[in-house]
Structure 1
Amino acid sequence: MPHDVTMPQLGMTQDAGKIVSWLKAPGDAVTKGDALFEVETDKATMEVEAQASGFLTSVSASEGEDIAVGAVIARISDSADDDGPAAAAPAPTASDDLADALPDGTSVTMPQLGMAQDSGLLVSWHKSPGDAVKADDVLFEVETDKSTMEVEAGTDGYLAATLAEAGDSVPVGQTVAIISTTKPAARVTRSVADGAVAPKPVATPKPTREPTLPKAAQAAPPMQKTHGRILASPKTRRLAMEQGLDLSRLVKAGHPQPFHVRDLELLKALPQQSVQTPATGAAAARHLVAKVSGDALPGFTKWAAEAHGLTDTDAILAGLAGAALPKAGAVAVERFGASTTYAMPASRLLSKIAETDAAPDLILRDLRNTTIRSADMGAETAPVLTITTRRKGVRVTLDCAANQLDAQTAIQLLTNFAGRLDQPLRHLL
């Protein structure tokens, strides 16, 4: 079945992209995942992958041409000879009566949070129909293959209509809400099953984090110290846990990391005699969130450097996290594609913390200096604490498998660490 190739939305403020170069020629055979073309935005130049296998046909955009986001620029067909016009977009299924019944206002659409994304799962609404909203208020949460993200309203007004319910899978670009300038007399609540709606002026929804990284960041050198960690997308980890699959078998078989969902088929095809019961198996996952009203770390690290000569901020961060562990262990601190593991001394003194090559008992992912505002990454080979920035303070999440930490220990770990972020001097008491 032919697949339309469209100009992706690589950033929330992007409304067009420039075709830098085609990496495949018309008639070429392509495989899903092949780099198809390069596109330039105001932030970076990125390669766009083919989302289906077949033959590249019906190329309608030239190199150097600016193309609107969502515009069809080519087709991946079953045959190299199929060079007809791209398929027209399906007509809206909603009746004119439904469309006419919608209030006037600015539409908020399902954003494209990644190049391979064609829909998003609406997880929950943070506002109810009739509520007043500000442009930077979180309107709803959306889940993609990679993560769960918060999406902001993008404009001031009143939430006059919600056109999708929690649990609905919404195509990218489809209207999910309407924000009016005045308080609505009648509030509209619908699901995706009620049909599509006529397009209205769009307020580009602004997630509280940037989901796609510039090409330079994507091409950053791999972490030198993985300490036995398996690199895989969150969805791949989740599916592997649900299906009782052991990703370490792919490592032993020599398949390159990071692993993606398509690699699970390779894993299933490995000889059955190599099957081992995975360490995490289908164990339930734990996901806890704590909100800290302030971020005292910058002031604390400055004081530690001036008063005690402790200049390794990652070691200090590892010490605060390690002090929250039930017993001394190793803590890996990750940021910007680099990872360093520190051994926690029995005394828990910051001055005694040193780097180690041991496998970590806890992973600390510091995302404060990124545009990411929330994260639900799933369980990994060790419990993971993730720090992200809020409007006021920081958010800390703990992800782990049930067999890594029992419920009480997980709660205590997150509570202790969040308390130390709020008042780092507690570590010294």
Structure 2
Amino acid sequence: MMHDIIMPALGMTQDSGRIISWKKRVGDDIAIGDILMEVETDKTTMEVEAQHSGFLAKIFSDEGTDVPVGEVIAIISDAETDGEIPASSSSSKLEQETKSPASPPVSVPVPEVQSLPKTPIVDKYNMHGKILASPKAKQLAWERGFDLGYLVQLGLPQPYHVSDLKEFESMPSAHAPGIEIYVRAEVDGTAFRNFGELIDNRADLPITVAMAAFAARSYQEVLGARDVVVQVDTISETTISYTVPEFASLSKIVQTDEARLPDLIITDLTHSRFSSLKSGPALVPTFTIGVKGDSIEVMLISPQGSLDQLQLVNCMEGFINRLEEPLMYLL
């Protein structure tokens, strides 16, 4: 049996993605959860995992190719094929390649309909929203490792042009793009899932509050910080920021709309098929949380000058300890 691999939608506004690299080659043995490729949109680079096991039978789109969302880019076969695809394959992509030319379409007059102009709406606090910028500004930002989301958080009006990139010259050194250090861990997710189900029906206590509290308290223990602003992003493009006072109970943690860089960012992938995500240079320490089978995969990335190696490890240790035993740390 053949299984299509399609270009995934990594965001609500995405209509195509660029294949940065293939991590598997034709003929390779594939297991569910293996990283197949890296895909880039205009604001995100993400690893895409295999949803089927078998053998990589064919690749239709090369590295560096822009592919529309939903288009078949490769095929996984249950049986080893040595790169040869059986003619009886039911894959939609193969059918498209082998079908005979269609008859010329018959031209049918269609009444002209005048459409209203579309105005893009961008939430200036939504770091995952569509960022409007000139092609040259996007290219320079990409070449220099600048995240245009920083300009969004500064509240600068869009679209952005090359002249707007001067704002990066005045960035605090702790937030400037540069060398990053990171640590990754995989922990048992049973207790955290049970905890999530326990508070799931409480509108006043969403799971994002607990995530923000766990991250902030780990950060406070390491750096001795007091009030910490934590931004929680989800794959559904929801962004919420919380102010977490030192030693405060969950009920004292409040949402904030303060227009400044947060102290920490959490990217919550627990309701998606992805276990990790890397979206441009990290401006502040950033946790990524994803589900991998029965486990939770956690990654912490820190920009140069924000956390040193020991602080990074201790901050990560405090966070995953809380994920493994959430109730104990809330008592």
Q: The TM-score by the shorter chain falls in which range? A: 0.5 to 0.7
Aligned equivalents of 1:298 and 1:352: distance in 2? 23
Query: CA deviation digits over 1:385-412, x for unaligned, max 9?
Result: 2323333232323233212222222232
Aligned with 2:23 (options 107, 115, 124): 124
2:60–2:72 Cα contact (<8 Å) kept: yes
Pair 1:316 & 2:214 matched: no
Query: CA deviation digits over 1:88-130, x for unaligned, max 9?
Result: xxxxxxxxxxxxxxxxx858566264755364212523x7834
Normalization by structure 1: what TM-score? Answer: 0.50
CA drift of 1:421 comes to 0.9
Aligned with 2:185 (options 287, 290, 293): 290
Cα distance change of structure 1 residues 375 and 297 upon mapping to structure 2, 3 Å threshold: same
Query: 5+ unaligned residues in a row in structure 1: which ranges?
Result: 1-104, 189-198, 203-218
| Comparing 398-407 and 362-371, the one that deviates more | 362-371
Aligned with 1:332 (options 230, 241, 245): 230
Aligned equivalents of 2:254 and 2:152: distance in 1? 29
Query: CA deviation digits over 1:122-165, x for unaligned, max 9?
Result: 2523x78342546x765333333332334455655333466888
Larger Rg: 1
Aligned with 2:38 (options 119, 130, 141): 141
**Number of residue equivalences:** 281
CA drift of 1:427 comes to 2.1
The alignment yields a C-alpha RMSD, in angstroms, of 4.9
Higher relative contact order (CA 8 A, sep 6+): 2
Normalization by structure 2: what TM-score? Answer: 0.61
CA drift of 1:324 comes to 0.9
Structure 2 counterpart of 1:111, one-letter code:
M
Identity of aligned residues (%): 26
1:375–1:397 Cα contact (<8 Å) kept: no
Pair 1:256 & 2:122 matched: no
Cα distance change of structure 1 residues 183 and 367 upon mapping to structure 2, 3 Å threshold: closer
Aligned equivalents of 1:374 and 1:253: distance in 2? 27
Aligned equivalents of 1:365 and 1:342: distance in 2? 17
Structure 2 counterpart of 1:322, one-letter code:
A
Aligned equivalents of 2:149 and 2:50: distance in 1? 42
1:247–1:267 Cα contact (<8 Å) kept: no
Pair 1:278 & 2:180 matched: no
- The structure that is helix-richer by fraction is 2
SS in structure 2 at match of 1:420: helix
Aligned equivalents of 1:321 and 1:374: distance in 2? 17
Pair 1:384 & 2:286 matched: yes
